[in-house]
Structure formats: C-alpha cells, structure tokens
C-alpha cells in the first residue's frame, strides 16, 4: 500500500481508504459481523483512514464502526467523521449543534478524540454561517485537543475556494470532494493548484460516480440526469465486452493521481475491500484507459447537483 501526505497535517494516508457509508446498512447481527470483519481486514491490508458520518444509516454506521474499532489500538487507524448533516433534509451547522454532534459521534464510535472532523455537505448551508460560526466552533475543538484536523465536504467544487478565501490560513486542513475525479469527470484537477498552495489535503470519494460506473448501475435516488447515466452505461458495456471490471479501472484511475492523497471506497463486505485493495495496487492499462475514456467523451465533465442553496452550485455543464 502506498501512503501519501495529507496536505500539511503531517499525516500519511493510504492511497485507498474505507468509506463508512455502507456500514450504515448493517442491520442484522450477521451484517454487523461482516462489517466488523471488513473494518479489520481493511486495516490488515494497509488502509489506515476510515471515514464515516452520523448521516450514514442515521447514525448506524458510526455505531457499527464503533463495534469494529473496539479493542483496537488507537494508533492503528485514523478516524474521520462529520457534523452538520443528519438526514436527507436535516442540516444544522450551528455552533451548539456541531459541538454536540461531535460528542455524540465520540460516544457511538467509542473514542475520546477524532482525527479529522468535517463539515458535511456545506452547499446546503449558508456559507456565511459556515465561516462565522461553524468553523470557529471546530477550531475551538481543535484547540482543546478533541480533534486534530478540520475538513469541509460537498459536491460543488466552487464551495471549497469560496470558504478558503474567507477564513484565516490553516483553518481548514482538508477538503473531501466526490464524483469529480472519475473516468467521466476529472474537474477536481481545476482546483488542485489552489488547494496545494494552501497546504490543504485532498480526499476524493465515490470513484464509481455513486454507482454509475458499475455493473449494477446507479441507485434509484441518484441525482444525475438520465443522459449522464446512459453515457456511463456505454463505458460499463464496453468494459464488460472486453472482460474487464470497470470498478477496477475506476479505483485505479482515482488512486493514480499523486495530488489526491486518498480515495474513499465504501463497502461493508470483506471480499470487496480485499478486491479493491488489489485493484488499487495493480498497474492500469493505459491503452484500455484511453479507450474507455473515449466512450465517455460525450458526457465528459458534465455535472449534476444533489441539491443545496442555488448560490452554492457549480455552473451546469451539459
């Protein structure tokens, strides 16, 4: 496993990390046992960052992850969770709520400190409040030694420089972007120089575009318009015809960029995390990569919105 620096935090993070959203779907004892095996195997295979949120499974993911972390040495893993989003339409970025959310997450996870605490999906909030109230509350937690680093997450890329341009240097340590460094959309590269100049670490999530670049296809709730889903299916079909798992190409592509510290892959299945680690470690086929990306050219860098305040949205590329 390759490890990369996370901005100026001093942390070295595995290039593939475990995203905890799927842990929220562990609802039976058998599911929970398999999810715990997945967490342990991920660590055994060299993954050292696990990311979760109270949103995932309406706190279930944090509870199940806490089961997996029980009894493990605290220095075996780097733990990230989030504040501010608690349900599909349940957002609260007030200082009081995010501080209380931190305490609640620690109780579910069975820890006293969090390595990386993110403001979750900030495009749904007033960025003035994020700058003036939410981030100062997290800075207080950092100063108290309760968290080590602060992050912000969201889908629109414009929100990241919008925040960084308004807060003192060093306030935000990390950004977490998703769906913007995939086979069909690599627009994250446009803000990487700005992030690197500020010493901000970069985490990418959802390398399959939230399921669009998989054999199963996107879930029913997926926000992308049908033309993007259909365009992704062309690439899926192209890979299938050549006996290639497109997920392998997605993982390889996202983890190949050294400027992106780590890519989060979400699963609660131990064999899937074993497979994905093997994919990340295997060299990519440049000829096949060029061919697959060519099939995606009609929708290349076309984007979509998951909601949020209109003023926080990227311009639509259609």
Task: Report the b/e string of 253-281 with b at 16+ CB within 10 A.
Answer: bbbebeebbbbbbbbbbbebbbbbbebbb
Catalytic residue among 3, 56, 178, 238: 56
CB neighbours of 42 closer than 8 A, spacing ≥ 6?
18, 50, 273, 277
Question: Rg of the chain over CA atoms, in angstroms?
Answer: 19
Q: How far apart are CA 269 and CA 172, in angstroms?
A: 32
Q: Which residues of 166-201 are buried (b: 16+ CB within 10 A; e: fewer)?
A: ebeeebbbbbbbbbbbbbbbbbbeebeeebeebebb
Beta partners for residue 23, in sequence order: none
Could you tell me whether strands 12-14 and 3-5 are parallel, antiparallel, or unpaired per DSSP bridges? antiparallel
d(CA 253, CA 217): 19
Q: Characterize the bridge pairing of strands 85-87 and 90-91.
A: antiparallel
Which residue, among 31, 38, 95, has the nearest Cα to 68 in the 3D structure?
A: 38
Q: What backbone phi and psi angles, to 5 degrees, belong to 113?
A: -135, 155
Tokens of 127: 């960025």
Classify strands 114-119 and 16-19 as parallel, antiparallel or unpaired: unpaired
Name the β-bridge partners of 114. 147
Instruction: Residue 151: name the closest of 204, 112, 100, 108 by CA.
Output: 204
Residues in the chain: 318
Active-site residue 56, yes or no? Answer: yes
Q: List active site positions.
A: 56
């Amino acid at each position: 496993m390759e490890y990369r620096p996370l901005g100026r935090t001093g942390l070295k993070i595995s290039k593939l990390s475990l995203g905890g959203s799927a842990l929220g779907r562990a609802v039976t004892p058998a599911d929970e046992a398999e999810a715990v095996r997945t967490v342990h195997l991920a660590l055994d295979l060299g993954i050292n960052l696990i990311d979760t949120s109270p949103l995932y499974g309406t706190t279930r993911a944090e509870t199940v992850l806490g089961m997996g972390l029980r009894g493990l040495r605290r220095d075996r893993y780097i733990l990230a969770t989030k504040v501010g989003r608690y349900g599909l339409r349940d957002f609260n970025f007030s200082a009081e709520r995010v501080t209380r959310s931190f305490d609640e997450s620690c109780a579910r996870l069975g820890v006293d400190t969090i390595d990386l605490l993110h403001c979750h999906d900030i495009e749904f909030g007033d960025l003035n409040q994020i700058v003036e109230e939410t981030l100062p509350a997290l800075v207080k937690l950092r100063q108290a030694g309760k968290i080590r680093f602060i992050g912000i997450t969201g889908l629109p890329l414009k929100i990241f420089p919008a925040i960084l341009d308004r807060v003192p240097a060093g306030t935000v340590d990390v950004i977490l972007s998703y769906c913007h460094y995939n086979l069909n959309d690599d627009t994250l590269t446009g803000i990487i120089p700005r992030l690197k100049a500020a010493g901000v670490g970069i985490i990418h999530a959802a390398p399959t575009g939230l399921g669009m670049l998989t054999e199963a296809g996107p879930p029913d709730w997926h926000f992308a318009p049908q033309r993007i889903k259909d365009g992704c299916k062309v690439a899926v079909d192209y890979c299938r015809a050549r006996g290639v798992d497109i997920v392998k190409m997605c993982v390889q592509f996202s983890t190949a960029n050294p400027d992106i510290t780590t890519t989060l892959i979400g699963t609660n299945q131990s064999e899937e995390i074993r497979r994905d680690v093997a994919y990340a470690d295997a060299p990519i086929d440049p000829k096949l990569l060029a061919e697959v990306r060519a099939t995606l050219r009609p929708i290349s860098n076309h984007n979509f919105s998951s909601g949020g305040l209109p003023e926080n949205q990227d311009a639509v590329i259609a």
